[in-house]
Amino acid sequence: MADNHGTQDPDPTARQAAGDAQTIERPWHVLTGLRLEESKYPARASLDGEGIVVLRTRSGLRGVQRSCPHMQGTMMNAELIANDTMVRCPLHVFTFRLSDGKGVNCPGFRIRIYEIKEENGAFYGRSVS
């Protein structure tokens, strides 16, 4: 199914962090609603007052805004594709890069993406842009 996606870096966190070294560090927030023993993904969670959906990718957890910016399809039904570097809303196959949220086949659209990390039994998240 996932033919011809190119070979994007599946974990852009390091690249992102390096690129942002000169800018102000974006703050981490406590991620609530996600349990350490969570086994079912996508999972709903909250970050700094915003409801997000947490996806489990091959390179770790990644957060996305809860609904597609196009027609508000829920990202709980989203599909991970292209070696887990993209996420696709099933309603109209609008597809977004997990590195920065840019629309791939829908260049007018962008989705909010969150880094997620686990420290001492708690989850934290922050926006990538």
Partner 1 sequence: MNSATDAFVLKGAHVIDSAQDIDRVADVHVADGRIAFVGSRDTAPGAKIVDVSGQYLSAGWVDIHVHAYGTLGFANPDSVGVYQGVTSFIDAGGPGIGVLDQFMELLGDLETSLYAGAFIRPMGLLGLNFIEGNVRTLGEVPITRWVDFAKEHRDMLRYIKCNAIGDYGPGTLKLTKGLAEILDLPLYMHIGEFQMQKPEHLLAPEAFRIAEAGDMITHLYHGNLGRVLDNSGKVLPVVRDAERRGVIFDLGFGGYNFSWDVAEQAFAQDLVPHTISSDLQQFNVVRPVKSLANVMSAMLRLGMTLKDVVDRVTCAPAKAVRLEDRAGSLKPGLPADITVFRVDAGEYEITDCYTKVRKADKAIVPVITFKGGRRFDADLAIAQQESNWFLQIAEDHVPAAASEFSERQRAFLAALAAVLSTTSWELASAERLDIEKALELQQTFHEVRAKQGLPLKDALRAVYGSFLDQSFTMQIGLLLLRLEQPFAVARLREVSGERSMAA
Q: Can you count the helices (H) and strands (E) in the chain? A: 1, 9
Q: Provide the minimum distance between the beta carbon of 7 and partner 1 in the complex, in angstroms, as a whole number.
A: 6
Indicate whether 10 belongs to the interface with partner 1 (CB under 8 A). Answer: no
Question: Of residues 41-80, which lie at the interface with partner 1 (CB under 8 A)?
Answer: 69-71
Q: Is residue 82 helix, strand or coil?
A: coil
Tell me which of 65, 67, 95, 127 binds partner 1, using CB under 8 A. 95
Tell me which of 20, 93, 118, 129 binds partner 1, using CB under 8 A. 93
Q: Is residue 16 helix, strand or coil?
A: helix
In contact, 127 and 26? CB cutoff 8 Å: yes
Tell me which of 1, 18, 21, 36 binds partner 1, using CB under 8 A. 1
CA 107, CA 19: separation in Å to the nearest integer? Answer: 23
Indicate whether 15 belongs to the interface with partner 1 (CB under 8 A). Answer: no
Q: Name the β-bridge partners of 124.
A: 30, 117
Indicate whether 90 belongs to the interface with partner 1 (CB under 8 A). Answer: yes
Quick one: which segment of 35-43, 55-63, 92-100, 115-123 binds partner 1 (CB under 8 A)? 92-100
Closest CA to 59 of 30, 16, 27: 16
- Cα–Cα distances (Å) from 102 to 21, 27, 64, 98, 111, in that order, read 21, 22, 12, 8, 7
Quick one: which segment of 32-40, 57-65, 90-98, 118-126 binds partner 1 (CB under 8 A)? 90-98
Indicate whether 16 belongs to the interface with partner 1 (CB under 8 A). Answer: no
Indicate whether 112 belongs to the interface with partner 1 (CB under 8 A). Answer: no
